[in-house]
């Protein structure tokens, strides 16, 4: 802690304290104003969080200032903390995933008759925990790293990156603890209530400005493709978030709000958001990650710059039209559905172009893919990215969607993307990044990376196959007819038929979770080993030389 | 050479940012804005009624407990759905739903037409322990709903907020929200009469949880479930009655 | 600066930029990408021309096919009903005895009836129609209102204590809560009622039975009959058989007499077409008693 604070100038420490003071006042106001409402409890969460951090800052307040030589180095402390947070959220989010999967297989598993422990409240803890907690932290941490390296510029100051990272995690904690208390807007992937939404806007604007300020200082004339994707991620998520979360709170003292739009307009806005949260959070952001760590690890140039261009603009343009494929055959007017379907089909081309660009980059490095589990993570991620986008475009076709919608097929598709693509590319990148950040040759145990790889791959395959099976069976049972032309199965028949698949899914998830735990231990051991080694050494960072290369990077 | 052009804009961060925002804005604008201007988007249904304060409170509990994670409220225009659940859902049915609860997953059955399908007593028992009445069920228990007293003192503020986003609650409705919530769940009280006066004679005034002496969260949730699909007759009138299974 | 190097593996030239060691090749976009993009666009174009697609501020382009999902499903549902009419008209036209004598027709009816029953009725009566606490076992044939198909159909259509205006009404009075009987008297009558179906008497019951008999004669026979065999006109159950709607232990029976009972069976006439109700009636009537 003290070491982290000592990386900031005294002025920055003062700013940090002022911000934390302001935050704790906000928390206090929420706690006081929200008495009798869950808002009050949220206020306490904010208060404890900011006071706790203020103590940490004060503990390091009198540490010596960093000297000017820091400006010749990259600023990686926030990335390091971001990595640790990513790993923690991964384990927590996936453990909750395994738990809710088990609840669907064995509903009586709920150990207490308490609201917070029920499926409906835990499910968003899982989805937000993995998407925003795990995915979001991974994106922030890697974006800071990639941005500096590809711009050959240090982050503009030492306070803003902390504000972004810590502020973002405050958002995640407020969101997750809120779900347990029953605070939710019910809009999928946008569940947090109005005050958390507003806070995220502030954090996000700062994040965006940080990006621009660093880019403005870049020593590379061209902006690298990874940054195009990170920028699209930051910008478009901001637009989506603001529009979809427009709402009127019941009062300043109520956590509850009513969204501005209703019915069909609300549905379209929600899925314009929801689909593009997938596009710009789970796709664009992670493509940015892939475009840096994959070529870096493979030691190969990007297969085609021109392909990068058309896939980037294709994705950015087409995705935004596709949201209505979540609303096929509903009360949404059919013309919007046709647009959603046709653009989803066209979207496949740029999606495969970027997957192909990644895989073709590995040409000349396939022997490394065979030997290096880290690169293999990234390769498999690109394959699953191709697979889930193909599946997505297929499911976006109206007649196909008439079968898949509302079923576990969607859940299977989600996790092909989430486990196979998002989590795999993240783990691969983390394994590359951690040794660079903590200045070691390799991870503590390359063997454990290998173990993790196979656990992750097996878990993904079990999960996805279980859900494909259950989803298609479910969809077919709902529409199977007797010879006499009447429905052959009741809904309850389909519930019973899902049982074995729900068990299989929970098992697959458990494999995947074990892999994440293995990763967490490996990261932990690596950091500890690095600290031991450093204690023996000089204690300084390796300075950036003119070429801005870091040892082993 | 298009890439020549690209080499230019990728040297200019601000230009790049504007390009992204521009390219990304088109789709959403073309798909969302016309939903407010094209009149056919939402059907006419003059008989469409508002949620009473008790039903609105129940709807908020439905949201709070995450029922939408397992239940849809949107019957699609597909033969099997119409035959299983009833007339397909119209846009007008959710026109006062801020936000909508169409759902995206059917771990449990669709609830768009659940109103009046079962008795209050069944709902109460089902919510307390679904496996008590449906042994095959995988739905969670919601025992606390019957224990928790419903918070009614702030319902006026809820209605006022709803009015701010466009739901036509009258001032009398806002002023009497707390009283109406109590009255709807307490049929023998003086407060009961005002409910049908303000929300229509067809409003269900009952002790939904079976206990007229308390107004619980169960009262609110069951009142909400029993109104689903019954805010307007439009879907039944518009569609030749679901021609049987 | 923009001078590329040659990549040794592919032989391609790089773009000449480098970011922390990462370079990019000037590989032309593979032709297949354009091919697929073209194909996808043509597909999209076809959709746009044929189906409703483009918003035009106050209206939208309707597409050449004049396709509308609502019209389509309405047509499909009507068509399906017409296709089924081969046998459904027979169900509607024939009498219950005729249908039950026709195994082929009964096969179609029970097949349909099963799904209908589980989707609409199993919530209360159970998947096998064996009921549960408060919900009668329909396979046991211990009818509250009568087991003739016409009676069953009537029950399903109008419901019991339902929101329908013509509903059957049934009410087991709350003798204790409403002060008609003292607790002691209730304990007596409970002991008596339990003895009627040969249940093992609970502790102290033996002494109460005689007194209970009198309480029963004074208060209960109006509905349950002199012989306690029930009355199908008011839906009062037979108290001498082994079927218990609300449970047979002392506590349950005591509660029944103390607080009364009023089961609620929804009226399906408002929600199901007459055909479905007839199919359900046949299905319920055809149920075999399940061994306990
Ligand atoms: C240990 C691994 C995991 C397990 C066991 C797991 C389990 C589950 C379960 C049981 C559900 C609820 C499905 C339902 O309601 O039927 C779910 C939903 C979801 N999970 Fe996971 N999950 C895991 C990992 C992840 C990861 C890593 C991500 C994202 C990066 C993710 C993203 C999601 C999303 C977006 C949904 C919502 C899907 C929808 O609404 O259609 N999950 N998961
Ligand atoms: C070309 C790309 C893709 C297309 C066209 C596409 C299309 C679809 C479709 C049609 C659905 C089902 C909607 C429904 O019936 O409710 C869906 C759901 C989903 N997809 Fe994709 N998908 C694509 C890529 C991805 C990727 C890469 C991910 C990454 C994780 C992903 C995550 C999800 C999620 C989370 C949902 C569930 C939404 C919900 O909660 O209902 N998709 N997608
Ligand atoms: Ca929100
Ligand atoms: Ca969903
Ligand atoms: Cu989508």
Residues A130 and A29 in one domain: no
Q: Is the CB of A351 under 6 A from ligand 2?
A: yes
A92: tokens are 């927590």
Nearest CA in chain C to B235: C70
Ion ligand 5: residue ranges with CB closer than 5 A: A 275
Residues A379-399: tens digit of each pLDDT: 999 999 999 999 999 999 999
* The pLDDT value given to residue C163: 87
A75 and A135 housed in the same domain: yes
Residue A548 confidence (pLDDT) above 60 = no
Same domain, A254 and A138: yes
Q: Determine the residue among A227, A331, A347, A481 to mutate to test chain B binding: the one whose Cβ has the most chain B Cβ atoms within 10 Å.
A: A331
Parent domain of C236: 183-259
Structure tokens, B221: 């949730």
Q: Which chains touch B (3 or more CB pairs under 8 A)?
A: A, C
Å from CA of B105 to ligand 4 middle: 6
Residue C292 placed within a domain: no
Radius of gyration of chain A (CA): 24
Average pLDDT over chain C, rounded to an integer? 93
- Give yes or no: residues A161 and A115 share one domain: yes
Q: Are residues A61 and A100 in the same domain?
A: no
**What pLDDT sits at residue A2?**
84
Q: What is the pLDDT of residue B240?
A: 56
Burial code of C148-161, b = ≥16 C-beta within 10 A, e = fewer?
A: ebebbbbbbbbbbb
- Contact status, residue A176 vs residue A137, Cβ threshold 8 Å: no
What's the start-to-end Cα distance of chain C, in Å? 90
pLDDT interval class at B2 (50, 70, 90): low
pLDDT confidence band for C200 (50 / 70 / 90): confident
- What per-residue confidence (pLDDT) applies to C289? 63
Are residues A479 and A468 part of one domain?
A: yes
Q: What is the pLDDT of residues A168-219, one digit of tens each?
A: 999 999 999 999 999 999 999 999 999 999 999 999 999 999 999 999 999 9
- Cβ of A220 closer than 6 Å to ligand 2, yes or no, is no
pLDDT of the residue at C291: 53
Q: Using the predicted structure, report yes or no on whether residue C288 has a pLDDT greater than 80.
A: no
Burial class (CB in 10 A: 0-12, 13-18, 19+), C193: buried
Ligand 1 atom closest to Cα of A410? 41
pLDDT in tens, B221-241: 999 999 999 999 999 987 754
CATH for B53-244, among 3.40.50.2300, 3.40.190.10, 3.40.50.1000, 1.10.760.10? 1.10.760.10
Tens digit of pLDDT for each residue in C49-77? 999 999 999 999 999 999 999 999 999 99
What distances in angstroms separate CA C115 from CA A477, C111, C127, C159, C268, one per listed residue?
A: 11, 7, 10, 20, 16
- What CATH number corresponds to the domain at position A462? 1.20.210.10
What is the number of structural domains in chain C? 3
Q: Pick from B37, B86, B135: which is nearest to C57 by CB?
A: B37
DSSP-based three-state secondary structure for A282: helix
- Please give the backbone phi and psi of residue A521, each rounded to the nearest 5 degrees, phi first: -65, -40
User: Of A247, A167, A110, A301, which is closest to residue C9 (Cα–Cα)?
Assistant: A301
- Residue B19 pLDDT > 60, yes or no? yes
pLDDT of residue B242: 43
Pick from A134, A244, A275 the residue to mutate for probing ligand 2's pocket: most ligand atoms within 8 Å of its CB: A275
Domain of residue A206, residue span:
66-550
Q: Is C66 exposed, middle or buried (0-12, 13-18, 19+ CB in 10 A)?
A: exposed
Residue of chain B whose alpha carbon sits nearest to that of A485: B245
DSSP state of A489: S
Domain of residue C150, CATH code: 1.10.760.10
Give yes or no: residues C279 and C149 share one domain. Answer: yes
Judge if the beta carbon of residue A94 lies within 6 A of ligand 1.
yes
User: Structural domain tally of chain A?
Assistant: 2
Helix (H, G, I), strand (E, B) or coil at A460: helix
Of the residues C22, C46, C67, the one at which a domain ends: C67
pLDDT on residue A66? 92
Q: What is the mean pLDDT of chain A?
A: 95
Q: Is the CB of B107 under 6 A from ligand 1?
A: yes
Residues in chain B with CB shorter than 8 Å from the CB of A276 are: 28
Residue of A207, A235, A237, A250 for testing the chain B interface, max B β-carbons within 10 Å: A250
Q: Residue for token digits 């783990």?
A: A427
Map residue A288 onto helix, strand or coil: helix
Q: And the tokens for A244? A: 């979809």
Q: Do C73 and B82 touch (CB under 8 A)?
A: yes
pLDDT at C22: 96
Given this model, what pLDDT does residue B243 score?
41
CB contact under 8 A, A485 and C27: no
Query: Tens of pLDDT along A438-457?
Result: 999 999 999 999 999 999 99
Q: Using CA atoms, how far apart are residues C123 and C127, in angstroms rounded to an integer? A: 8
Residues C86 and C228 placed together within one structural domain of the fold: no
pLDDT at A538: 46
CA-based nearest distance C69→chain B, Å: 6
Question: What is the C-alpha end-to-end distance of chain B, expressed in Å?
Answer: 62
Q: Quick one: pLDDT band at residue A539, thresholds 50, 70, 90? A: very low
Confidence class for position C206, pLDDT limits 50, 70, 90: confident
Q: Where are the alpha helices (DSSP H) in chain C?
A: 31-50, 69-93, 96-100, 103-120, 122-125, 149-158, 183-196, 205-219, 221-224, 250-259, 274-286
- Say whether pLDDT at A400 is over 90: yes
Is the C-beta atom of A516 inside 6 A of ligand 1? Answer: no
Residues A322 and A443 in one domain: yes
In tens, the pLDDT along A253-284 reads 999 999 999 999 999 999 999 999 999 999 99
**Ligand 1 contacts CB of residue A380 (under 6 A):** no
pLDDT tens per residue across span C83-137: 999 999 999 999 999 999 999 999 999 999 999 999 999 999 999 999 999 999 9
Nearest ligand 1 atom to alpha carbon A512? 1
DSSP label at residue A303: S
């Amino acid at each position: 802690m003290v070491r982290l604070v000592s990386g900031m100038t005294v002025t920055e420490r003062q700013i940090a304290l002022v911000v934390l003071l302001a935050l704790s006042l906000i928390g206090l106001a929420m706690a006081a104003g929200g008495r009798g409402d869950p808002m009050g409890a949220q206020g306490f969460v904010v208060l404890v969080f900011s006071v706790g951090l203020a103590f940490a800052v004060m503990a390091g307040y009198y540490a010596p200032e960093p000297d000017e030589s820091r400006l010749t180095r990259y600023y990686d402390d926030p990335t390091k903390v971001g990595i640790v947070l990513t790993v923690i959220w991964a384990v927590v989010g996936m453990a909750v995933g395994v738990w809710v999967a088990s609840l669907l297989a064995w509903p009586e598993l709920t150990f207490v008759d308490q609201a917070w422990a029920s499926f409906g409240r835990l499910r968003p803890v899982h989805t937000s925990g993995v998407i925003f907690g795990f995915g979001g932290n991974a994106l922030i941490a890697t974006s800071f790293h990639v941005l500096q390296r590809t711009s050959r510029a240090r982050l503009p100051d030492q306070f803003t990156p902390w504000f972004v990272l810590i502020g973002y995690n405050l958002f995640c904690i407020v969101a997750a603890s809120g779900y347990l208390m029953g605070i939710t807007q019910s809009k999928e992937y946008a569940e947090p209530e109005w005050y958390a939404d507003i806070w995220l806007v502030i954090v996000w604007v700062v994040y965006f400005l940080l990006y621009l300020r660093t880019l403005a200082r870049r020593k590379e004339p061209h902006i690298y493709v990874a940054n195009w994707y990170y920028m699209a991620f930051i910008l478009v998520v901001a637009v989506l978030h603001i529009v979809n979360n427009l709402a009127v709170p019941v009062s300043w003292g109520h956590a509850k709000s009513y969204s501005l739009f209703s019915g069909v307009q609300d549905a379209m806005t929600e899925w314009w958001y929801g689909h593009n949260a997938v596009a710009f959070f789970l796709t664009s952001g992670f493509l940015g990650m892939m475009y840096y760590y994959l070529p870096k690890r493979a030691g190969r140039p990007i297969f085609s710059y021109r392909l990068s261009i058309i896939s980037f603009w294709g994705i950015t343009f087409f995705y935004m039209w596709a949201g209505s494929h979540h609303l096929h055959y509903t009360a949404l007017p059919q013309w919007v559905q046709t647009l959603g379907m046709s653009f989803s089909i066209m979207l496949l081309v740029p999606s495969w172009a970027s997957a192909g660009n990644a895989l073709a980059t590995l040409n000349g490095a396939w022997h490394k893919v065979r030997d290096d589990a880290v690169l293999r993570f990234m390769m498999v991620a690109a394959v699953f990215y191709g697979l889930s986008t193909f599946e997505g475009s297929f499911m976006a076709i109206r007649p196909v969607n008439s079968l898949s919608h509302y079923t576990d097929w969607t859940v299977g598709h989600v996790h092909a993307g989430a486990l196979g693509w998002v989590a795999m590319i993240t783990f691969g990148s983390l394994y590359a990044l951690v040794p660079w950040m903590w200045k070691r040759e390799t991870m503590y145990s390359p063997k454990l990376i290998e173990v993790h790889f196979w656990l992750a791959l097996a878990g993904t395959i079990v999960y996805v196959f279980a859900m494909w099976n259950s989803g298609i069976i479910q969809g077919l049972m709902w529409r199977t007819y007797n010879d006499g032309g009447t429905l052959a199965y009741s809904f309850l028949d389909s519930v019973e038929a899902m049982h074995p698949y729900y068990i299989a899914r929970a098992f697959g998830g458990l494999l995947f979770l074990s892999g994440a735990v293995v990763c967490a231990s490996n990261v932990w051991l690596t950091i500890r080993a690095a600290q031991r080694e450093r204690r023996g050494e000089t204690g300084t960072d390796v300075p950036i030389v003119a070429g801005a290369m870091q040892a082993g990077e | 050479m298009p890439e020549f052009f690209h080499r230019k804009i990728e040297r200019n961060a601000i230009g790049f940012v504007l390009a992204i925002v521009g390219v990304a804005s088109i789709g959403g604008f073309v798909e969302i804005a016309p939903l407010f201007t094209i009149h056919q988007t939402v059907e006419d249904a003059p008989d469409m009624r508002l949620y009473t304060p008790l039903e609105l409170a129940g709807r908020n509990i439905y949201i709070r407990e995450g029922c939408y994670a397992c239940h849809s409220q949107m019957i699609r225009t597909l033969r099997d759905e119409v035959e299983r659940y009833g007339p397909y859902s119209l846009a007008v049915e959710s026109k006062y739903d801020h936000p909508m609860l169409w759902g995206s997953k059917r771990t449990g059955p669709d609830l768009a037409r659940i109103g009046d399908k079962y008795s209050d007593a069944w709902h109460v028992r089902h919510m307390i322990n679904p496996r008590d009445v449906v042994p095959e069920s995988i739905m969670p228990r919601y025992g606390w709903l019957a224990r928790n007293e419903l918070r009614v003192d702030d319902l006026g503020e809820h209605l006022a907020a709803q009015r701010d986003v466009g739901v036509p609650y009258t001032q009398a409705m806002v002023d009497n929200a707390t009283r109406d919530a109590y009255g709807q769940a307490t049929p023998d009280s003086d407060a009961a009469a005002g409910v049908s006066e303000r929300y229509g004679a067809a409003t269900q005034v009952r002790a939904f949880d079976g206990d007229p002496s308390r107004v619980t969260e169960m009262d609110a949730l069951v009142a909400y479930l029993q109104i689903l699909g019954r805010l307007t007759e439009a879907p039944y009138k518009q569609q030749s009655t679901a021609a049987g299974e | 600066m923009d001078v590329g190097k040659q990549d040794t593996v592919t032989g391609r030239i790089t773009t000449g930029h480098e970011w922390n060691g990462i370079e990019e090749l000037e590989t032309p976009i593979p032709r297949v990408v354009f091919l697929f993009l073209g194909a996808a666009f043509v597909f999209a174009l076809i959709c746009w021309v044929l189906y409703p697609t483009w918003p035009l501020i106050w209206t939208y382009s309707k597409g050449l096919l004049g396709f509308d999902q609502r019209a389509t499903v309405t047509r499909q549902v009507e068509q399906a009903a017409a296709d089924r009419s081969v046998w459904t008209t027979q169900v509607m036209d024939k009498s219950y005895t005729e249908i039950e004598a026709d195994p082929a027709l009964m096969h179609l009816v029970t097949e349909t009836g099963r799904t209908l029953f589980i989707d609409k009725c199993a919530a209360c009566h159970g998947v096998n129609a064996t009921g549960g606490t408060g919900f009668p076992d329909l396979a046991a044939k211990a009818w509250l209102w009568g087991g003739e198909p016409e009676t069953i159909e009537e029950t399903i259509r109008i419901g019991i204590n339902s929101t329908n205006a013509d509903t059957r009404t049934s009410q087991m009075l709350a003798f204790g809560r409403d002060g008609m009987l003292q607790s002691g008297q209730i304990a007596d009558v409970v002991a008596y009622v339990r003895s009627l179906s040969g249940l093992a008497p609970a502790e102290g019951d033996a002494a109460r039975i005689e007194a209970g008999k009198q309480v029963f004669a004074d208060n209960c026979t109006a509905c349950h009959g002199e012989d306690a065999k029930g009355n199908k006109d008011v839906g009062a159950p037979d108290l001498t058989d082994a079927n218990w709607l609300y449970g047979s232990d002392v506590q349950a029976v005591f509660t029944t007499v103390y607080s009364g009972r009023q089961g609620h069976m929804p009226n399906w006439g408002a929600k199901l077409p007459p055909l479905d109700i007839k199919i359900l009636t046949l299905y319920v009537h055809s149920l075999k008693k399940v061994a306990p």
